Amino acid sequence: MNQAIQKILLLIGAVFSMTLLSGCPSSDSSGNATVIYGVVSSGGGSTPQAISSATVTIYQVQSGTPSVVAQTSSDGAGNFSVKVPSNSSNTASNPITYYAVARKSPSIELMASLGTGPLTAVRINELTTVASAYAFAQLFRNDYSIGGSALPMSIAAGMAENLVSAQSGAASTVIQTSPNGYETNTWSALGTLANVLAGCTQGVANACTNLFAVTPSASGVTPTTTLQAIVNIALNPAANVSAIYNLGSVVTSYTPALTANQGPNSSAPLQKLDAWTMAVKVNNSGNSSCPFGGPANVAFDVNGYAWINNNVIQGTPNSTNCLIVLKPNGQPANGLANTPTSPITGGGILGSGFGVAIDTLGYVWSGSFGWGNNVPSSGAVAKLSSLGVPISPAAGYTSGLLRVQGTAVDQSNNIWMASYGNNAVVVYPNQTTNAVSYVDSNIEPFGMAISSDGYAWVTYTGSDTVSKLRYSNGGITKLFTVPLPSGSNPKGVAVDSLGNAWVAAGKTSTVYAINSTGTIVGTYTGQGINGPWGISLDAKGNVWVANFGVDLPSLRYSIVQLCGATSNCPTGIAMGTAITPSTGYTLPSAGSQVLLNSGQPLYGAGAPPSYLPLMRLTSVNADMAGNIWAANNWKPSGLNDLLLNPGGDGMVIFIGVAAPTKAPSLGPVQAP
């Protein structure tokens, strides 16, 4: 067959396949099955290459292991159709997640997430494979199938769709538009990784061999398929960054892709690639009356929704009176199916600070700190129902409180609060508001975390100390205080399953590990740690650090992962050693200035542009699918501190980098 005829046949096949994808029935005539119409292809652009005679397998996962529900083969144009039996157990509260894998030859293995519907039209290509590998990274098993409980699986499916539309096989609208687009490098990085896989898929000489050689698993096992290779990249994003980047120049049909100015050898510091992470930025609060302005901390509820404390009215130094709730995919909660509607107001919300927690009954507790012109005369904590309905009065609960920061719930449902403004640690016993206060010579309590035995660890920024307290018999007693070096200014604290407290000391760019008896067993600096503020643990017990930066603004901001005390780390990495690269995980720019959700530049009209989509961070928290949510609390430029409009913009979600973590958590984190 000559090349002209071959091109005509491919074009006809592409047109036919797009017709199938654009308007196909969702069920057969009996109503007992969903019909999926799809195409298996390689490469982007208007004329992707059809992959014929690929075996297409449809899997479903609701709890535990995947099961095959249908199988077929693609035809000469790459098209296929397959019936998936209906399943009455597929409900909103217990969803089934579907995915498709197309296999041809020993090396070619492509994947697409089909969501919980499942989707009735899909294009399986290298882009959908990259998106699926990252979104489900922490849910892949040793045989590279995926499995897990219903909610983490559905969260992962939502994140895959955030990256790439499985229906079109192209980058999603989320990735192509602000606050992503060219404001971050994610769209271009997706294209480069898809091109890396396409060299192997399209049979370029030595492409598969070269790909597999630079993408071993963490234990050193060489992959044998394209899917295995990209999963290994997602799980080890700092490994062989340059070697993988270089493979993207062999096939270049996916655009945009990283340019030399955006690669690992770039001399442009704001665009340089440090690791093959994928991040999605979100900044839609649900209503322009309450835009993102200094998000501070997040608590995930039992449905995976993110409850985010929001500090300031965007563009001003003054307190906001709203809290933001996002769906597990980062879109604003909209009230459908008995869920909250974002944003939330009332109940005493005012300049919410570092403290937000969810108790055993599903109530949300959000501490008010107050900023600028709205500093409260007395502190408050807001109590909200699981739907965001205020339970507390309009001024909040104020007993014993002044400018609340850290907030936590212990296993007996006691609410612990760091009352920064009056130097008190305050407990509301079992949700009552009969405040029990503890005050000693330590001042400015800030961070709060609960151990597995119900004790509370508290950081004091003003006295450079950390205390371990307990509540019993109606009173609070202190077990001990651990002094840190003068000027440490400790803020965030997290406790692991072994009883160690991990403390972020911002002023000295240090993370401390303190054992259950109060002995400092680790002092960690460097490794990308830069003015740490928030600190958290994932379900493997590894430590995540949010960098706020020290004094002068940093060139770029990042998150850092340290090996924890539980030995769940890559081979050869000791406790306290960074798993992330020396820069931490960053989010480079692709050249466009950062915009607010309103479309205005970050610093306002006429102000100098910003090219830092990841800003000064106050918290990092892992969700149930292993995504890390980083809070852009403060704008990058020090010129905005206090006097102008300090509140940063949005949340940055690093896809699939952490061990999936149960929500809500009481005490040390657990697997979902």
- Summarised one tens digit per residue, pLDDT across range 316-329 is 888 999 999 999 99
CA–CA distance, 127 with 325 (Å, rounded to integer) = 30
Task: Answer whether residue 433 shows pLDDT above 50.
Answer: yes
- Which residues are CB-contacts of 571 (< 8 A; sequence separation ≥ 6)? 218, 219
- Which residues are CB-contacts of 78 (< 8 A; sequence separation ≥ 6)? 13, 17, 39, 40, 41, 50, 51, 52, 54
Mean pLDDT within 573-582: 97
Task: Answer whether residue 644 shows pLDDT above 80.
Answer: no
Pair 671, 539: CB distance under 8 Å = yes
pLDDT of 214-242, one tens digit each? Answer: 999 999 999 999 999 999 999 999 999 99
Q: Is 541 inside a domain boundary?
A: yes
Cα dist from 441 to 172, 207, 242, whole Å: 54, 65, 53
Q: Give the CATH number for residue 380.
A: 2.120.10.30
Q: Is 414 inside a domain boundary?
A: yes
Mean pLDDT over all residues of the chain? 93
Same domain, 151 and 297: no
Q: Give the CATH number for residue 46.
A: 2.60.40.1120
Q: Which residues pair with 334 in a beta bridge?
A: 341
* pTM summary value: 0.95
Same domain, 377 and 503: yes
Q: Is 184 inside a domain boundary?
A: no
Read off the DSSP letter of residue 476.
E
CA atoms within 13 A on the CB side of 51: 27
Report residue 27 as tokens: 């069920």
CA–CA distance, 197 with 200 (Å, rounded to integer) = 6
Cα dist from 475 to 414, 442, 594, whole Å: 12, 18, 49
270 or 638: which carries more pLDDT confidence?
Answer: 270
CA–CA distance, 560 with 377 (Å, rounded to integer) = 37
Task: Answer whether residue 29 shows pLDDT above 80.
Answer: no
- Output the pLDDT for position 23: 39
- Output the pLDDT for position 553: 58
pLDDT of 493-532, one tens digit each? Answer: 999 999 999 999 999 999 999 999 999 999 999 999 999 9
Task: Answer whether residue 624 shows pLDDT above 50.
Answer: yes
Pair 532, 513: CB distance under 8 Å = no
CA–CA distance, 296 with 328 (Å, rounded to integer) = 18
**Cα 354-358-364 angle, rounded to 5 deg:** 80
DSSP-derived secondary structure for 265-328 = T-S-TTT---S---EEEE---S-TTS----EEEEEE-TT-PEEEEE-B-TTSSSB--EEEEE-T
Q: Is 234 inside a domain boundary?
A: no
Q: Is 224 inside a domain boundary?
A: no
Report residue 569 as tokens: 């780390």
Pair 640, 309: CB distance under 8 Å = no
Any idea which residue has 């409180």 for tokens? Answer: 401
Neighbour order of strands in the sheet with 501-505: 490-495, 501-505, 510-514, 520-524
Amino acid at 241: V
64-68, 87-91, 97-101, 112-116: least confidently modelled range: 87-91
Amino acid at 129: T
Task: Answer whether residue 373 shows pLDDT above 90.
Answer: no
Mean pLDDT within 333-354: 95
Pair 322, 299: CB distance under 8 Å = no
Task: Answer whether residue 12 shows pLDDT above 70.
Answer: no
182-186, 488-492, 596-600, 642-646: least confidently modelled range: 642-646
373 or 119: which carries more pLDDT confidence?
Answer: 119
Task: Answer whether residue 47 shows pLDDT above 70.
Answer: yes
Mean pLDDT within 661-668: 89
Mean pLDDT within 108-120: 96
CA–CA distance, 385 with 383 (Å, rounded to integer) = 7
Mean pLDDT within 154-165: 98
What share of the chain has pLDDT > 90, as a percent? 85
- Output the pLDDT for position 289: 95
Report residue 317 as tokens: 């130094």
Pair 78, 16: CB distance under 8 Å = no
Q: Is 213 inside a domain boundary?
A: no
Burial of 554 (0-12, 13-18, 19+ CB in 10 A): middle
Mean pLDDT within 183-191: 98
Q: Which residues pair with 433 in a beta bridge?
A: none
Task: Answer whether residue 460 shows pLDDT above 80.
Answer: yes
* pLDDT band at 31; cut points 50, 70, 90: low
- Output the pLDDT for position 88: 84
Pair 532, 492: CB distance under 8 Å = yes
Question: Is residue 467 within a helix (H) or strand (E), and if so which, with residue range?
Answer: strand 465-472
88-97, 508-517, 530-539, 641-650: least confidently modelled range: 641-650
- Output the pLDDT for position 43: 97
- Which residues are CB-contacts of 390 (< 8 A; sequence separation ≥ 6)? 346, 347, 348, 382, 383, 384
Pair 357, 299: CB distance under 8 Å = yes
* pLDDT band at 555; cut points 50, 70, 90: confident
Could you tell me the residue range of the domain that residue 585 belongs to? Answer: 279-654
- Output the pLDDT for position 667: 85
Cα dist from 326 to 300, 352, 550, 624, whole Å: 10, 16, 30, 14
- Output the pLDDT for position 550: 85
Q: What angle separates helix 186-201 from helix 226-235, to the nearest 10 degrees?
A: 150
What's the total number of domains in the chain? 2
- Output the pLDDT for position 40: 98
- The 3-state secondary structure of 88-124 reads CCCCCCCCCEEEEEEEECCCEEEEEEEECCCCCEEEE
Q: Is 227 inside a domain boundary?
A: no
CA nearest neighbour of 332 among 8, 25, 628, 650:
650
Q: Is 547 inside a domain boundary?
A: yes
- How many helices, marked H, and strands, marked E, lie in the chain? 8, 38
